[in-house]
A and B are shown apart, each in its own frame.
Chain A
């Protein structure tokens, strides 16, 4: 498994603004997954992008993947106070136990 590194560590924006979080990783992957964690809760799977995809949308979420730069970004458009949470990326490589390893995440605060 390999760990993604999220950037920035913390992000504070006003409701209605867009939030962009970045993820970098080190080796070739099969897919990359994004998760959200509300305070004191478990993680929730948000979206998965495969290595042969460059962009994917799900509601207000847009994920991009640049395998040449080994990086991904998560964009939340028109943010809401309910989007306040920590966001984690998880690069996935088939084999080696098929585990996910999580970095420190990006803590997003959306102010009403």
Chain B
């Protein structure tokens, strides 16, 4: 079955460390997105990519970086420059010819 896989489900990071969250899709979707969700809050857009080797900053890109070397993959790196990284991170994808996003199950990142 096609879908989006985010890994790991839970991640613990020490302060000052970079950490990379994985997002892989086998839906052949062109666009991919990263969102951050804080407890009881909505989703805020971090980065998005419409095509391979191209991506744009969202509303809260500071302290994060991404790459899009393959259509299927859109990893997110949370750098030490992100001061409050503890949150729930969601990856999504969408096709070129239809509306609607497909979301992964999320990664919960905790700074310890």
Contact = CB atoms under 8 A, between A and B. Distances in A.
B83 to A, nearest CB: 22
A93 to B, nearest CB: 11
Decide if the interface of chain B is mainly helix, strand, loop or mixed: strand
Interface stretch (B13-21, B65-73, B74-82, B96-104): B96-104
B53 interface: no
A98 B50 contact: yes
A18 interface: no
Interface in A53-112: 88, 92, 97-105, 107
B103 A42 contact: yes
B110 interface: no
Contacts of A44: 103
B105 A42 contact: yes
Nearest to B4: A42
B45 A99 contact: yes
B90 A42 contact: yes
A2 interface: no
Contacts of A1: 45
13 contacts: A33-B101, A35-B101, A40-B88, A41-B105, A42-B92, A42-B104, A42-B106, A98-B31, A99-B33, A99-B58, A100-B33, A102-B35, A103-B42
Interface of A: 1, 3, 31, 33, 35, 40-45, 48, 88, 92, 97-105, 107
